Amino acid sequence: MKPIYGLIGNPVAHSMSPDIHNAALKDLSLDGYYHAFRVENDDLEDAVKGMRALGIQGFNVTVPHKVAIMKYLDRIDESARVLGAVNTVRREKEELVGYNTDGEGFLKSLKPSLDKPVSELSILIIGAGGAARAIFTTLASERPKRLDVANRTPEKAEAFIQLYSGQTKAVSLAEAEEHLEAYDVLIQTTSVGMHPHVDDVPLSLARAKETCLVCDIIYNPLKTALLKEAEAKGLHTLNGVGMFIGQAALSFGLWTGHEPDMEKMKSIVLRKLGGKEC
Ligand code: ATR
C-alpha cells in the first residue's frame, strides 16, 4: 500500500509542505503521497483517530494543534516532551509517536551562517511563543555564552528560561533594544512582520553591533522589515526559509529514513514565494 503522509492544521491552504515533501518523495523515487488536511479544533481527536484507522504513516502538525495533539498520541519523544509541543507524528507499529523537529531544523539552518561555535556566542531570542521555546531549548543544549529572551510579555519567557543552566535572562523588548550591542546573534520569532503587518518590527536595530547576525524565522515575506533594516545597516541576515526546510527534512527523515535534497526543497519554496533568498 502506498504510504500516506500529511499535515494537519488550520489554515493549511497556503502551506508549502505538500510541495516540498511530494517533490522529495519523487526525487528519491519513494512511493508515497503527502496531503494537507484542514482540521478544526473540535475535530482534532477524530482526525487523529481517522489517521490511525486509515494507516497514515506520518504527519506534520501545525498551528493551532501542536500542543493539543499531545494527549491523543501514544507516546511523546524527548524532542517534543521538552518543548511541550509536537510538529511531527510517526506511526511506529500500532503506536502514534510525537516528535518535534522545529528547534533542530532551525539549528541546521543557522550553523552554516556562523563563524564560531554556538558555545562562543551571546544570543538573543525575540519572542516567547512555541517557536521561541523550541529554538531556546535546542540552542541551550549547545551551551551558548549567553541566551536571553526578549518578549512583549517578559513573564512568558520566565516560564522557560530556567531550562538553561547557563547565563540567561528574560527582558522586555525595550531593555533588549537598549543593550543590543551585547549580542552576536538575534533570532526574531514573533509574528511581527508577517502579513498584513509587513512594515512592523519588534524592536529597532540601532544599537546592534556591526558583526551581528540577524535571523527572522518568518519566510513569507522572505525579507521582513527587520531583515531590511539589518541589511540597510550592513548586518548579516538569515530568513526563515532554512528553518522551514530544515524541520521538513528532519520530519521526512523520521518517516522515510532518507535525507531529502534540501537545496531542491529550498528552490521550490523560493519559486513559490517569487523571490531570491536574502
Ligand atoms: P508561535 O507558536 O508561532 O511562536 P505564539 O505562541 O502565538 O506563536 O507566540 C507569538 C509571539 O509573538 C509571542 O512572543 C508574542 O508576544 P506575547 O507573548 O507578549 O504575546 C509575540 N507577538 C505577537 N504579536 C506581537 C506584537 N504586536 N508585538 C510584539 N510581540 C508580539
Domain with 111, as residue range(s), is 104-238
Residue 250 within any structural domain of the chain: yes
> Contact, 133 vs 160, CB < 8 A?
yes
Contact indicator for 143, 119 with CB cutoff of 8 Å: yes
Nearest CA to ligand 1 atom 6: 129
CA distances from 274 to 175, 198, 211, 270, 271 (A): 36, 16, 29, 6, 5
Ligand 1 centroid distance, CA of 173 (Å): 12
* Cβ pair 65, 7 in contact under 8 A: no
d(CA 225, CA 194): 9
The partner residues of 91 in beta bridges, in order of sequence, read 96
Share in percent of the chain as helix, strand, coil (round to 5): 40, 20, 40
H helix intervals, the chain: 17-27, 44-54, 78-81, 102-110, 130-140, 154-161, 173-178, 225-232, 241-256, 262-273
**pLDDT number for residue 198:** 94
CB 191 near ligand 1, within 6 Å: yes
CB-based contacts of 131: which residues, under 8 Å, 6+ apart? 102, 189, 217
DSSP sequence for 16-46: SHHHHHHHHHHHTT---EEEEEE--GGGHHH
Whose alpha carbon is nearest atom 31 of ligand 1?
190
Q: Is 127 in the pocket of ligand 1 (CB under 6 A)?
A: yes
Output the residue whose Cα is nearest ligand 1's atom 14: 127
In terms of domains, do 254 and 133 share one?
Answer: no
Taking the C-alpha atoms of residue 184 and residue 108, their distance in angstroms, rounded to an integer, is 18
The total number of structural domains that make up the chain:
2
Q: Are residues 141 and 202 in the same domain?
A: yes
Cα-to-centroid distance, 191 and ligand 1 (Å): 6
Domain match, 161 and 63 both: no
What is the whole-number distance in angstroms between the Cα of residue 83 and the centre of ligand 1? Answer: 17
Contacts of 141 (CB under 8 A, 6+ apart): none
Same domain, 88 and 122: no
Task: Tell me which residue has cell 509542505.
Answer: 17
In a domain, 212, yes or no: yes
Residue 221 is assigned to a structural domain of this protein: yes
Cell numbers standing for residue 54 = 486509515
* 77 domain residue, yes or no: yes
Residue stretches of the annotated binding site for NADP(+): 78, 127-131, 151-156, 217, 240
Do residues 109 and 205 share a domain? yes
HSE, CB side, 13 Å, CA atoms: give it for residue 143.
3
pLDDT profile of the chain (278 residues), mean per 10: 95 95 98 98 98 96 96 97 94 97 96 97 96 95 98 95 97 98 98 93 98 96 97 97 97 98 96 74
Specify whether 60 is located in the same domain as 141. Answer: no
pTM of the predicted model, to two decimals? 0.93
Residue 168: other Cβ atoms inside 10 A = 20
pLDDT at residue 278, rounded to an integer: 47
User: Does residue 113 form part of some domain?
Assistant: yes
Q: Looking at the structure, tell me whether residues 14 and 58 fall in a common domain.
A: yes
Both 124 and 209 in a single domain? yes
CA 269 to the chain's CA centroid: 15
CATH number of domain containing 94: 3.40.50.10860
Separation CA 272–CA 278 (nearest Å): 15
C-alpha 222 chain-centroid distance: 15
Contact 253, 104 (CB under 8 A): no
Task: Supply the CATH number for residue 230's domain.
Answer: 3.40.50.720
Residue at 76 is within a domain: yes
Instruction: Determine whether 193 is exposed, middle or buried from the number of CB atoms within 10 Å of its CB (0-12, 13-18, 19+).
Output: buried
Report pLDDT digits (tens) over 230-243: 999 999 999 999 99
Same-domain pairing of 52 and 150: no
213 and 194, same structural domain?
A: yes
Model pLDDT, residue 63:
93
Same domain for 173 and 159, yes or no, is yes
CB of 262 shorter than 6 A to ligand 1 = no
Nearest atom in ligand 1 to 173's CA:
29
Is 234 found in the same domain as 246?
Answer: no
User: Is 145 among the catalytic positions?
Assistant: no
Residue 182 lies in a domain: yes
Whether ligand 1 lies within 6 angstroms of the CB of 159 is answered as no
128 CB near ligand 1 (under 6 Å): yes
Q: Is residue 278 part of a domain?
A: no
